[in-house]
Amino acid sequence: MDSIALARAFGLFFATAITELLGCYLPLLWLTGRGSAWLALPAALSLMVFVWLLTLHPEASGRVYATYGAIYIATAIGWLYFVDGVAPTWNDYLGVGLALAGAGVIALGHRPA
């Protein structure tokens, strides 16, 4: 995988993670009384976009989901800081590093026949 394809795949995974986080966060706002029930509409749209984005990856779905999981973890820790206003701890960073290392083994270790 060349660097452009890798950057493209990472960007797609990042966009996918943002749509999933947003689709789950908006109903949380409503359920905790910090937002209107109308937030369910953009949440549903966000989750539909999330599912569609997952279909854009050319690899086998299990490998895509496994790799996506690590990008999701990293994005969720960023969400923790930028949206929730909570500073990540050293073990958050360690967990992200381990997850990304595992994703790298999965994604970069696969060589098409």
Q: Per residue in 31-71, pLDDT tens?
A: 999 999 999 999 999 999 999 998 888 777 778 888 889 99
pTM of the model: 0.85
Average pLDDT over residues 103-108: 82
Question: Is-contact 69 95, C-beta < 8 A?
Answer: no
For the chain, the structural domain boundaries read 3-109
Residue 106 pLDDT > 90: no
What is the pLDDT at residue 113? 60
Query: What DSSP assignment string belongs to 45-80?
Result: HHHHHHHHHHTT--S-HHHHHHHHHHHHHHHHHHHH
Element holding 110 (H helix, E strand): none
Q: Per residue in 77-92, pLDDT tens?
A: 999 999 999 999 999 9
